[in-house]
Chains A and B, each alone.
Chain A
Amino acid sequence: MIEVRDLHKNFGKLEVLRGIDAKIEKGEVVVVIGPSGSGKSTFLRCLNLLERPTRGEVKIEGKSLLDPSTDINKIRQDVGMVFQHFNLFPHKTVIENITLAPIKVKGLSQNEARERAMELLERVGLADKAECFPASLSGGQKQRVAIARALAMNPKVMLFDEPTSALDPEMIKEVLDVMKDLASDGMTMVVVTHEMRFAREVGDRVLFMDEGKILEEGTPEEIFENPQNPRTKEFLSKIL
């Protein structure tokens, strides 16, 4: 599904990613953990080219993202992204947030798009909020709308960048529940998170990143019960 080879990213002189290799299979839930500043977000953002890699290769379903002939807007339709700060469109209602891209990008009719959007809102438990503006929603509700918005494009992969980090503790669960539901539905997911319980319960594989590299990877049991790399041990001892 996703293949990353020798991925490097520099911001000026700062080397943020220093050679990342990773493979993500269809239907897999991969959790990325690591200390702040280790490059987790940058890695995720390279997967839909919100950041342009300095060098290396990223392939999604065999298509190279960096090949000049690749239509990146086409690729992005298949790669949904959920942000830490939701990034809902504040001037649009909930339903408009969800239907805008399907209508403008995929050319769906208003009715088709709305029907699909209502299904998704139903799924994330917010059907009654369709006509509200984002400002009137709680953080957890915003994030669930953001997930529905990404799903409306029928992506093949979903990227989550710390989707619960900006939420009050009592709202974390409602968002994680939606993500669990997605995972059990077979969605391919790459999730950057500090929610270790979620990683254990839902993750198929955990990647530990530090200083722009993947230092260790394995099943949640392997990483959490029996970490090999001293940096992984140190990180886990701090957060668990």
Chain B
Amino acid sequence: MDKLNFSIVIPYIHLFFRGALTAFEITLLAVLIGIVIGTFMGMGKMSRIFVVRFLCSAYVEVIRGTPLLVQLLIFYFGLPQILGFTIPEFPAAVLALGINSGGYVAEIVRGGILAVDKGQMEAARSLGMTYAQAMRYIILPQAFKKMIPPLGNEFVTLLKNSSLATTIGFPELTRAAQIVAGNTYRPFEPYLTAAAFYFVMTVSFSWLMSIVERRLAASD
């Protein structure tokens, strides 16, 4: 039996830091895309128009009912067959994760909107605001506040899921561990190191969120 020897990782440590940074970037961009898509999909699911409701529900169901890995593979390897060109790894990873996140954020948005007292919409409409104005100025700002904790969870989930971008060869954190494992013929230390990086990121993010949540609760 061999002893663990983390010193072998040290020459490669810059790869881990760079990988962590890219993982963070991918996740942040993907969550932003997810929020935009999710806001429209979440509202669309509550639309009075059947076709809109149907399409938005279908989007959410398909996204949530299929594995992210398969979505990523379709996006990176499948789409070029139709498009005639390859989407570079970084935008492909961001878009695939963002579109995926949109499906989950849609439910968060819907939950957030439904959690706003329905008297708010009535008060806004009784003042002559249109549905869109009431949504924009009254409902969504309040819903967003209720969405912050679940959005924080979504960010953490997505950060972990960004490791799947390894499969399309994108040099993020997990990929860094793979490379180091290949070079040193010692997989255990590099993967443990990657895990530690993820863990530090998710834990510090969760800690940050708990502070934000406390602030929000105080402002109520």
Q: Interface code B137-172, partner A: CB below 8 Å = 1, 0 otherwise? A: 110011001000000000000000000000000000
Among the listed B129, B141, B145, which residue makes an inter-chain contact with A105, where contact means beta carbons less than 8 Å apart?
B129
| B1 touches A (CB below 8 Å) | no
| A77 touches B (CB below 8 Å) | yes
State in angstroms the CA–CA spacing of A100 and B139 once bound together. 14
Q: Interface code A116-151, partner B: CB below 8 Å = 1, 0 otherwise? A: 000000000000000000010000000000100110
Interchain nearest-CB distance for B155 vs A (Å): 23
| A74 touches B (CB below 8 Å) | yes
- Asked whether, in the complex, the Cβ of B133 is within 8 Å of the Cβ of A89, the reply is no
State in angstroms the CA–CA spacing of A73 and B129 once bound together. 6
- Asked whether, in the complex, the Cβ of B142 is within 8 Å of the Cβ of A153, the reply is no
| B128 touches A (CB below 8 Å) | yes
Residues in chain B near residue A153, CB distance under 8 A: 127-128
Interchain nearest-CB distance for A205 vs B (Å): 23
Count of A interface residues, CB-CB < 8 Å: 26
The range of chain B's interface size is 10 to 19
A83-B128 in contact given A91-B141, A91-B145 (Cβ < 8 Å):
no
- Asked whether, in the complex, the Cβ of A76 is within 8 Å of the Cβ of B126, the reply is yes
Interchain nearest-CB distance for A184 vs B (Å): 24
Residues in chain A near residue B117, CB distance under 8 A: 87
| B204 touches A (CB below 8 Å) | no
Residues in chain A near residue B130, CB distance under 8 A: 73
State in angstroms the CA–CA spacing of A85 and B220 once bound together. 17
The closest CB in chain B to the CB of A96 belongs to B137
Among the listed A73, A77, A89, which residue makes an inter-chain contact with B120, where contact means beta carbons less than 8 Å apart?
A89
Among the listed B128, B137, B138, which residue makes an inter-chain contact with A76, where contact means beta carbons less than 8 Å apart?
B128
| A1 touches B (CB below 8 Å) | no
| B122 touches A (CB below 8 Å) | yes
- Asked whether, in the complex, the Cβ of B128 is within 8 Å of the Cβ of A135, the reply is no
The closest CB in chain A to the CB of B141 belongs to A91
- Asked whether, in the complex, the Cβ of A87 is within 8 Å of the Cβ of B122, the reply is yes
Q: What is the interface of chain B mostly: helix, strand, loop, or mixed?
A: helix
Among the listed A83, A105, A106, A135, which residue makes an inter-chain contact with B123, where contact means beta carbons less than 8 Å apart?
A83
The closest CB in chain A to the CB of B133 belongs to A104
| B186 touches A (CB below 8 Å) | no
| B88 touches A (CB below 8 Å) | no
The closest CB in chain A to the CB of B117 belongs to A87
| B11 touches A (CB below 8 Å) | no
| A179 touches B (CB below 8 Å) | no
Q: Which of A67-90 contact B (CB under 8 A)?
A: 73-74, 76-77, 79-81, 83, 85, 87-90
- Asked whether, in the complex, the Cβ of B125 is within 8 Å of the Cβ of A76, the reply is yes
State in angstroms the CA–CA spacing of A91 and B140 once bound together. 11
- Asked whether, in the complex, the Cβ of A150 is within 8 Å of the Cβ of B142, the reply is no
Residues in chain A near residue B126, CB distance under 8 A: 48, 50, 76, 79-81, 150
- Asked whether, in the complex, the Cβ of B142 is within 8 Å of the Cβ of A83, the reply is no
| B119 touches A (CB below 8 Å) | yes
| A60 touches B (CB below 8 Å) | no
Residues in chain A near residue B145, CB distance under 8 A: 91
- Asked whether, in the complex, the Cβ of B123 is within 8 Å of the Cβ of A100, the reply is no
Interchain nearest-CB distance for B117 vs A (Å): 7
State in angstroms the CA–CA spacing of A135 and B217 once bound together. 13
Residues in chain A near residue B123, CB distance under 8 A: 81, 83, 87-89, 146
State in angstroms the CA–CA spacing of A88 and B130 once bound together. 17
- Asked whether, in the complex, the Cβ of B142 is within 8 Å of the Cβ of A77, the reply is no
Residues in chain A near residue B120, CB distance under 8 A: 87, 89
State in angstroms the CA–CA spacing of A146 and B122 once bound together. 13
State in angstroms the CA–CA spacing of A163 and B130 once bound together. 25
- Asked whether, in the complex, the Cβ of B128 is within 8 Å of the Cβ of A73, the reply is yes
The winner among B117, B120, B127, B130 for most chain A CB atoms within 10 A is: B127
- List 5 tightest A-B contacts by C-beta distance, closest first: A87-B123, A101-B127, A77-B128, A87-B119, A81-B126
Interchain residue pairs with CB less than 8 A apart (14): A73-B130, A76-B126, A77-B128, A83-B119, A83-B122, A87-B123, A89-B120, A90-B220, A101-B128, A105-B133, A149-B127, A150-B126, A150-B127, A153-B127
Task: Apart from A50-B125, A76-B127, list 16 A-B contacts with CB within 8 A.
Answer: A76-B126, A77-B127, A80-B127, A87-B120, A87-B122, A88-B123, A89-B120, A91-B141, A91-B145, A101-B124, A101-B129, A104-B133, A105-B127, A105-B128, A146-B123, A150-B126
